[in-house]
C-alpha cells in the first residue's frame, strides 16, 4: 500500500470518529418502577364534590366546599435502609383539576419503601416576598399569581373556600394562610410500597377536611385575612398536616 493510500485511510477514519462523536447517543434505560400518588379529598370518610357540590355537617351546620388547594414540597420516598428517593421538589395540589391532584412518577428505583414524606407549604428559599412573573416560567407550580398574596409577601400555602349554614344564615368562609412561620416539615405517611418489577404501583392518600377544620370555629372565624390572622392560619396548617392518611 502506497503512502498516499495510507494517508487517505487515516483521514477517512478521523472524519468518521469526529462524526460519530458529535451524534447524540441514546441514554440507556436503567429500569425502574412507576408510582401514581392520588390525593383524594374527603369529609368524615365521604367523597367531596367541590363548587356547589356535596353537603356535609360540621358542628351541627351544613357545610359545602368551593375551592381546596395547597402546596406540597420535598416529596420523597424512604426505603428500608433509611435512604430517600426524590419524587418532586414542589407541587400545587388542586382538587378542581384532577391532573394536578395526581403525581405520576416514572423510573423510580426498584425496592421496598416504608413511607412517603413531604413538607406542606413553600420553602423559605422559594417563597418570594414580591411577585415576579419572570422568576418561574411555563407550568412551574410557583408560576401562579393567584397563589401569591402581595399583602402577606408570601405564597398562599393553602386555599380553602366554602359556605356554612343555610338560608339567611348562610356565610362564606375564605382561608388562605401564607407565611414562612406556617411551613410544616416532614409529614410521614407509612406506605409499605414494594416495587419489584417494572409495573405501575398506585397509592391513594386521603385528605380529610373534617380534620383540617378540627377545633376551628368557622362561623366566627370566616377569614384568615384580618390582621394576617397567623394563629388561625397556623391552626389550619397544623390540621392540614394531620389530615393525610392512606386510603384503606
Q: What is the pLDDT along the chain (248 residues), one digit of tens a residue?
A: 555 555 444 445 555 544 444 443 333 334 578 899 999 999 998 889 898 778 999 999 999 999 999 999 999 999 999 999 999 999 999 998 888 999 999 889 999 999 999 999 999 999 988 998 889 988 999 999 999 999 889 999 999 999 999 888 999 999 999 999 999 999 999 988 888 776 788 999 999 999 999 999 999 999 998 666 899 999 999 999 999 999 87
The C-alpha atoms of residue 146 and residue 121 are separated, in whole angstroms, by 15
Cell 483521514 locates to 11
pTM: 0.84
Sorted by where each begins, the domain ranges of the chain are: 32-246
Cell 414562612 locates to 180
Between β-strands 200-208 and 33-43, what pairing exists: parallel, antiparallel or unpaired?
A: parallel
Amino acid at each position: 500500500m502506497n503512502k498516499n493510500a495510507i494517508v487517505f485511510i487515516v483521514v477517512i477514519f478521523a472524519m468518521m470518529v469526529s462524526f460519530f462523536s458529535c451524534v447524540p447517543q441514546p441514554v440507556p434505560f436503567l429500569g425502574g418502577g412507576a408510582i401514581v400518588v392520588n390525593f383524594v379529598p374527603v369529609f368524615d370518610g365521604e367523597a367531596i364534590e367541590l363548587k356547589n357540590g356535596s353537603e356535609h355537617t360540621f358542628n351541627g351546620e351544613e357545610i359545602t366546599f368551593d375551592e381546596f388547594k395547597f402546596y406540597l414540597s420535598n416529596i420523597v420516598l424512604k426505603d428500608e435502609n433509611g435512604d430517600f428517593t426524590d419524587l418532586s421538589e414542589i407541587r400545587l395540589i388542586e382538587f378542581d383539576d384532577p391532573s394536578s391532584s395526581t403525581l405520576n412518577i416514572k423510573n423510580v428505583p426498584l425496592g421496598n419503601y416504608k413511607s412517603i414524606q413531604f413538607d406542606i407549604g413553600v420553602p423559605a428559599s422559594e417563597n418570594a416576598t414580591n411577585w415576579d412573573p419572570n422568576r418561574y416560567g411555563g407550568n412551574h407550580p410557583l408560576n401562579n399569581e393567584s397563589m401569591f398574596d402581595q399583602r402577606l409577601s408570601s405564597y398562599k400555602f393553602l386555599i380553602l373556600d366554602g359556605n356554612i349554614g343555610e338560608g339567611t344564615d348562610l356565610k362564606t368562609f375564605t382561608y388562605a394562610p401564607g407565611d414562612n412561620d406556617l411551613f410544616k416539615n416532614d409529614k410521614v405517611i407509612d406506605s409499605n410500597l414494594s416495587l419489584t418489577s417494572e409495573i405501575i404501583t398506585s397509592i391513594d392518600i386521603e385528605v380529610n377536611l373534617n380534620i383540617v377544620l378540627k377545633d376551628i370555629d368557622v362561623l366566627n372565624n370566616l377569614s384568615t385575612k384580618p390582621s394576617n390572622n397567623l394563629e388561625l392560619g397556623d391552626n389550619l396548617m397544623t390540621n392540614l398536616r394531620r389530615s393525610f392518611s392512606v386510603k384503606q
